[in-house]
Chain A
Amino acid sequence: MRGGSLWQLGQSITRRLAQSDKKAVSRRYFASDADLKKTALYDFHVAHGGKMVPFAGWSMPIQYKDSIMDSTVNCRVNGSLFDVAHMCGLSLKGKDCVPFLETLVVADVAGLAPGTGSLTVFTNEKGGAIDDSVITKVTDEHIYLVVNAGCRDKDLAHIEEHMKAFKSKGGDVSWHIHDERSLLALQGPLAAPVLQHLTKEDLSKLYFGQFQILDINGSTCFLTRTGYTGEDGFEISVPSEHAVDLAKAILEKSEGKVRLTGLGARDSLRLEAGLCLYGNDMEQHISPVEAGLTWAIGKRRRAEGGFLGADVILKQLQDGPTIRRVGFFSSGPPARSHSEVHDESGNKIGEITSGGFSPNLKKNIAMGYVKSGQHKNGTKVKILVRGKPYEGNITKMPFVATKYYKPS
């Protein structure tokens, strides 16, 4: 056997058999284990049977004793606890932190009610995506945001550069990077009932996208009702010295039903939920409009602009983008990143950016970009896997219905 697809999420490589170099295939540079960063839960993962792999410079569990398939199904039936402490949490503070952030993201930050947040995109001058992020307006003078681990250095350098310029013109903004905290994600139907055991605050009043600073299991946590699976759930920022205790408490309160879940299942879950993975489905050259995230561009922002690349994005909103992100079902082997998408006559119309076998739907699912005009649901396509075309069709996302906790 010879493997081409790597376990490195965000860099999954589809086997291109025709072009592969026999000798090159198995050789891949990995940072030595000593160079990899460890989260506060590293030993906890290993003790629980975690299979540790390098990811974005960290040693992270790709799975535990159960298979990725079982783990993914369990999240939607019971629940999952993920260590996402590799992601970077930061706070922007100051009188002008809202107008400052608005120069960098497409969200209507001023329009967010205190204690609410949203998914947004950091854009570059060409209207492409630097990263996606969940931002929360805690108060008018405090914004809390989380960015991807793989983009940490890039994002922080970008924010710092613009912050310096903003301050030199008299703006009042400062930042704090929460390296003293660890982020855990608790997702699934049991997330709220289990977490409720660990806090006195009434979680039934905390809806999707809302944020609260509260005591959980004896420590002050930042709690956001959000996630990356499509299920109801939370992301919990806990002081790192209490991270293991919190993880233990969550698992115990669920009586084993909520399982520690790794990055392998996390990727399957977010794909089923139709969510982008930066580095695969969103990149520097892809705009939020092309990625189907027009809803994340605030109404006022569409009229006013004021963020990097606004001219490009506003034009795409007017004329329509030339490519669009869509979902696919297909037969045969699962379509993977970089597989070509052809129309029924064999003309190339797009490319897959993420794909795999859905453990919950038990069929192949994928997402990718196709030329506008060819993007309607139901459009029949052919997807090339290892040089052979397989039947597929375009479908809407999410593939698995989301269960976000919203007021009725």
Chain B
Amino acid sequence: MALRMWASSTANALKLSSSASKSHLLPAFSISRCFSSVLEGLKYANSHEWVKHEGSVATIGITDHAQGHLGEVVFVELPEEKSAVSKEKNFGAVESVKATSEILSPISGEVIEVNTKLTDSPGLINSSPYEDGWMIKVKPSNPAELESLMGPKEYTKFCEEEDAAH
């Protein structure tokens, strides 16, 4: 993914926008050693999306680690309501000044709500990746898929290993 392209050992120390994202932290969070925030209570995909499962609704977005590497988001492409998303299949794209990245859904289901604020304010993904920058709400078709996702500690470790490989 786009993150793997950033061949620099200094990338770790350089989280460009992470200071901006810290203004919207939920009370329970753990800060990974790579200096981007990872929240408790969420599940994470190895393609850097997060899922918040509350009852029959799952909210999906991209992580602080992802938005930090992407840079300033200038455009977001999201699916329509009522469309289907599938685990590990792309459902949209995020554009920064210089790069385009696909967003992959961590789970399968039906899109019940799309964050329309992102049309006029794509930068919410940078400033508030876990809250105002949420992307879609999905009715999961197979809740068991959530089990195979990573928890916060696992994801933190995953990020560190990925960044260290560059």
Contact = CB atoms under 8 A, between A and B. Distances in A.
B150 interface: no
Contacts of B70: 1
Interface string A334-362: 10100000000000000000001101000
B26 interface: no
Interface string B79-101: 00000000000100111111111
A44 interface: no
A133 interface: no
28 contacts: A1-B1, A1-B3, A1-B66, A1-B104, A2-B1, A2-B2, A4-B102, A5-B101, A6-B99, A14-B100, A15-B93, A33-B7, A51-B8, A51-B14, A52-B8, A53-B6, A63-B16, A65-B16, A67-B72, A68-B71, A68-B72, A69-B71, A69-B72, A69-B97, A264-B97, A332-B77, A333-B95, A386-B93
A52 B122 CA distance: 27
A2 B95 contact: no
Classify chain B: how many residues form its interface, as a range.
35 or more
Interface of B: 1-8, 10-11, 14, 16-17, 47-49, 62, 66, 70-72, 74-75, 77, 90, 93-104
Contact of A7 (B6, B14, B93): B6
Classify chain A: how many residues form its interface, as a range.
35 or more
Interface in A32-71: 33, 46, 49-54, 63, 65-69
Contacts, number: 124
A68 B70 CA distance: 11
Contact of A3 (B16, B17, B72, B100): B100
Given A49-B14, A68-B72, A357-B74, A3 B2 contact: yes
B95 to A, nearest CB: 5
A268 B97 contact: yes
